[in-house]
Structures are given as C-alpha cells and as structure tokens.
C-alpha cells in the first residue's frame, strides 16, 4: 500500500510539472506572437500594438485630429469613406466591423481615404469600373488584382496603427497610378 501511495504522489507531481510546462510554453508563444505581430488578415487577432509607429515608404504616422466616421456621417471630409455597414466587432463595443464601398475609375480611387480604429475588422468592396486594376498595400500584405467590371473584397483586422498608402501596382505603383490612404487610429489612452 505504501508503494502505491508513493507511485500516486510521483504521478501527481509529474502531472503538475507537465501542466506548468505547457502553460509556460503557451504563455511564452502568446507573448512572443503579440510582441512581434505585424500585418493584418481576416484571421488576425491578439493584443493591439502600442509600440511607436515604424515608418516605411507606404506607412507614416497618423495625422493629428483625425476622426473616424460612423455609418451615416454627413460631416466627413471630401474623399473620406463613410462605412456602408457598421456593427459591433466585439461584446465590449471597443472595436467595430466597418464595410466600405470603393470604386476605381479613370485611374482614381473614390473615395480615396478610409479611416478606422485600431482593432476594427475592415471590409473593403473595391469595384474596377473602367479597366483592370490592383489594390496594393505592402504593410498589410495586400496585392489583389481586380478585373474590369468586377468587385474585389478585401477583409482584415486593422492591428497596426498608422497612415498606410494603398495604390494600384499594375498601374505603375504609387507614383503613377491611383493612390489612397488607410488611416488606422490607435485607441486613446
């Protein structure tokens, strides 16, 4: 009986050590993934980055006094997209789902600026009206061709804050083709 009790104690200790090790590995991977998270995707999730905005040729800091328009907004500046659909993105109400309709015609995105909150799920419905175009935003990893007369849906979670330039790569890039901006506003602290 004494040997059975010792075996049970050893098994219990081994199980506790294994559980602690698994929890530690999961916590470490979760922390590492959130610390190095970049890019956005429909499946993206995790903590919002509070690190300073890194710049690239297509990412700069958010301009001062930028307001995120809600569905039905009538006071949005010219060229700023107003969501066609907006809904709660999570039960806390801290993030939203926002859907925008954008067209490309005569080598111009219309509207050419989309403004969202960091953490929002963004759905872009992009119509190529008069030619073949592409929707390209390297920081978020997008390069989607759009055939004339077709609509391309781009959906992602806006995990990185910043002012991101998007453009048509098949038109010659940002210096030659249509250009627009995705502005992702970090939460106020």
Mean pLDDT, rounded, for 138-153: 96
Residue 25: half-sphere exposure toward Cβ, Cα within 13 Å: 6
The residue assigned the tokens 């453009």 is 167
Query: Which pLDDT score is estimated for 117?
Result: 95
What average pLDDT score do residues 15-21 get?
53
pLDDT at 134 over 60: yes
Fold held by 59-185: Immunoglobulin-like (2.60.40)
Residue of higher predicted confidence among 3 and 171: 171
Asked if residues 157 and 42 have their Cβ atoms less than 8 Å apart, the reply is: yes
Q: What percent of the chain has pLDDT over 90?
A: 60
More confident residue, 135 or 43: 135
- What secondary structure letter does DSSP report for 175? T
Report the DSSP pairing between strands 113-117 and 142-146: unpaired
pLDDT at 27 over 50: no
Beta-carbon count within 10 A of 68 CB: 19
Q: Encode pLDDT of 30-48 as tens digits.
A: 343 333 333 333 333 334 4
């Amino acid at each position: 009986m004494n040997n059975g009790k010792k075996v049970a104690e050893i098994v219990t200790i081994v199980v506790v050590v294994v559980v602690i090790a698994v929890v530690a590995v999961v916590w470490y991977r979760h922390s590492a993934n959130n610390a190095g998270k970049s890019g956005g995707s429909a499946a993206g999730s995790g903590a919002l980055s509070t690190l300073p905005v890194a710049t690239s040729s297509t990412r700069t800091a958010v301009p001062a006094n930028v307001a995120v328009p809600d569905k039905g907004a009538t006071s949005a500046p010219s060229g700023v997209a107003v969501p066609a659909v907006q809904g709660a993105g999570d039960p806390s109400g801290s993030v939203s789902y926002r859907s925008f309709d954008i067209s490309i015609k005569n080598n111009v995105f219309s509207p050419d600026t989309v403004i969202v909150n960091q953490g929002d799920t963004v759905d872009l419905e992009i119509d190529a009206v008069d030619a073949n175009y592409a929707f390209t935003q390297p920081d978020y990893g997008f390069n989607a061709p759009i055939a004339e007369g077709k609509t391309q849906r781009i959906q992602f979670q806006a995990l990185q804050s910043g002012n991101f330039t998007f453009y048509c790569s098949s038109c010659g890039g940002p210096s030659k083709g249509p250009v627009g901006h995705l502005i992702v506003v970090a939460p106020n602290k």
